[in-house]
Structure 1
């Protein structure tokens, strides 16, 4: 009886820990450059926990149950928490890494003659993801390219309002290299990148051939003028425009932040993250 109660307790604890780890390690990956880190940490932690269960607690919770419960925790979390197919595709390598953590623990604790070699080979996947591979994968899913450079150039007519209610439109910006940073107030990764945008603004804000704008996507919870106020309170002085859903749809903005660079003809030459966009602006100025 006592063994049964303890087994149930250990099984429940394993499920909760696996489920919770999956949630936390995906949540830290809001910045696309950290996806590989989340995958690697998940692999290591799940591997350690399952190895401990299999080696130390096997008499209370058989190895097959440990494997099944861990896999169930990972896959159940993935099933109920992924909001869209797009997001599910983006985090697929992370989920695979978590599953491989369970498999690696089973192999390592099995006593196989070449268990160290097999465990090492399984671990190569999440370790390789922690290089530039995963960020490239996510970049392609989010922006349709791997480097930010856009192969098919196109123009997108647009207009938005500045803090004084004055219209700024694409026709007025012809002849300049334009950087547009699309964001919304509740976007944590957007705020994380704003110090870099501010530094870029301080460097190029007075350049006669460069225009820099942070275009806000209004949310239902925003009050009028909140986008301008929130930027000012943080001490930033780059230009903010109030956009609308039409601008987001016309540019094809589905991920935030997304940075778009327009050449002097008003055509999109870059769509991606700010770091690479700055290089794109500098190159466009040389043309």
Structure 2
């Protein structure tokens, strides 16, 4: 039966899905790069948090203070010195490279931590709270709040800051942006590193609320991320939030109707349905938005 708890559960998990998709849509929107390794970067962030929690005794959320900049520093040279050069060779080489990075991360984590499931211990992980008359998990509320704040902040930064304008200029026409004095390679590296930092946030929240393994969690959540990106619009930062909320509701309501054992199937189904209608729906919307954006983006970057 569908009631308020089902709807609220879907909305809350949608906030987490928005964080999962944020880095994916940002990287694709700026460099047209499909990052297959995104899910494994999420898992790497969870394991990094686990080490910080174990060694320093910090709360998992506090560990983000160390994990987020660490993931940024790890990802920056990967983009700057590996993927940037491959982007000039076409779309396929960087995709293959990210697939290789995905395999490397997964194998390294199995060697270091085995393939056993892990979780980030927190006193609020399974605690419940009353929200609009419905009992929900505190960890889900935390993930939702962080997701909304993070997506809105990145969207405002992209639209209103000079750096965001430079990013959009590099995305729209990298050659012209370079002639205007914009360091496109550095922008690409910063964007990829920021996406890895966002993935780390998602990894910590997933570790608190759901647990993780080095072999299966990354694939599951990269699939969710791609589905959210397609639902919300490829390259659309705020679309990550709307797509996350939409997928959360689809999954929650669908599970209430057909059973929770079909949760993953519902993700696949949503992804395939949107791909089928994409030529008639997404191209119209993206085309209108794209023509307006291209007229403004280079002007704002000056």
TM-score normalised to the size of structure 1? 0.26
Quick check: which one's helix share is greater?
A: 2
Larger Rg: 1
Higher strand share: 1
